[in-house]
Amino acid sequence: MIKSHRKGSVLIMVLLFLSLMSILIEHFSRTVWIGTIFSDRMVLREQAEMLAISGMYCAADQLTRSNKAKTENKNKDKAQTDKEERATFFKRILPTLNKWQDFTLTKSIDGLDGTLKICLSCEEGKINLNQAFDFEKKVFKKEYDAILSKLGFAESSTSDKNTHSTGSGQSGTGETGPNSLGKKIADALKKNESPLNDLSQIPLLAPTGSSELFYAPPEMVMDSHKKMVEKPRAFALFDVFTLWSDVGTVNPLFFSDGMCAALSLKRPSARQNDELNNKMKTLAEQIAPEWAKDWKANWAQLKPIYEHDIAIFDQISSILATEIEPKVYSVISSGQVKDVEQRLMAILRIVEEEASHSTGSGQSGQTTHGQAPQRKVLIERMYWIDQSNQS
């Protein structure tokens, strides 16, 4: 009996040992499998990040005027050369403003298969929040009343607190009551004793959950009926407001998507519209610096692209730009490799510096007088956009 019992114990020990080995092998296999997936995802993430960063430089390149016209047309006067260069620049920028530009990359040419998308916007087509708010009196300045009321801000210097007006197609801008988005932003500003350093200082806690921090450019999606429709766009703080423009004025030629919505103008669309693009290119050839002296008198030139008049033109005339060409832009850049996307936003500032040259003696950086200044783009700030909260 004792001998039989010993044989049964050995069998049990062998089974336990085999079970333990199976568990260890399964755990090891699972660890290796998860580690492999994680490593692959990290590689894809790094590649997507590099694409997004490259999109930022691609946008900067589009904002850099070429000196080709000045080089090829030395016999032309400066005014004519500037006009041609300005028209070329506007032809390149206006048709793509506030819309995605798509670039498809292939491994055989670019080293990897992926997609790069960039969306240029103009910071001077938005309201400078630091300029619009009086931090001493804790109220919005009177000259901004009309446009802020369109955005649902009823607590400016003279606005009626019970009057709210919304812009067409702009979700979350016209809420009323104690939880309105406009009131939340106004309350956040009142708590600051000095101008904001960044718009992200303002807590966005809209009760509907529809308000966002960063702009989401227009795009086509499939609805429940399997038809391609344009995805609804929510209010985005960075699309309506800025802190980066040097002055407190807004350039009507470069209105942001949110500003178009607030003023009931035609908004940028993801749908291909060759007719509108041709209108913008025609407009680019006609743009003159004198337009900025009286935007209302020259609105007929801009109406083909906006389709409507501005109902509150007289009320906002004092905050409209006095120079035709902006200097501060922003870009949303998206890099996607397989199903991994990384997205960023960057503030780009155009600066012009006098050309310099290197001498034969090895000295460099000496200013060359008489030559056209070099147009450069500085990256002022960059934000990584969390895609996990994007709907």
Q: Beta strands of the chain (E only): which ranges?
A: 101-105, 114-122, 127-128, 133-134, 139-140, 220-222, 228-230, 241-242, 328-337, 340-353, 356-357, 366-367, 374-385
Distance, C-alpha 190 to centroid of its chain: 26
Question: What is the model's pLDDT at position 371?
Answer: 62
Identify which of 196, 197, 201, 166 has the alpha carbon closest to the alpha carbon of residue 180.
166
Question: What is the model's pLDDT at position 109?
Answer: 92
Question: What is the model's pLDDT at position 253?
Answer: 94
Q: What is the pTM of this model?
A: 0.80
Q: Please report which helix (H) or strand (E) contains residue 32, including its range.
A: helix 2-63
Stretches where the chain sits below pLDDT 70 are: 1-8, 65-76, 153-181, 203-211, 355-372, 388-391
Between strands 328-337 and 241-242, the pairing is unpaired
d(CA 217, CA 198): 21
Question: What is the model's pLDDT at position 374?
Answer: 80
d(CA 85, CA 62): 13
Instruction: List CB contacts of 203: < 8 A, sequence separation 6 or more.
Output: 184, 188
Distance, C-alpha 343 to centroid of its chain: 10
Distance, C-alpha 149 to centroid of its chain: 24
Question: What is the model's pLDDT at position 10?
Answer: 78
Question: What is the model's pLDDT at position 176?
Answer: 38
Question: What is the model's pLDDT at position 46?
Answer: 93
Between strands 241-242 and 127-128, the pairing is parallel
247 close to 131: Cβ distance less than 8 angstroms:
yes
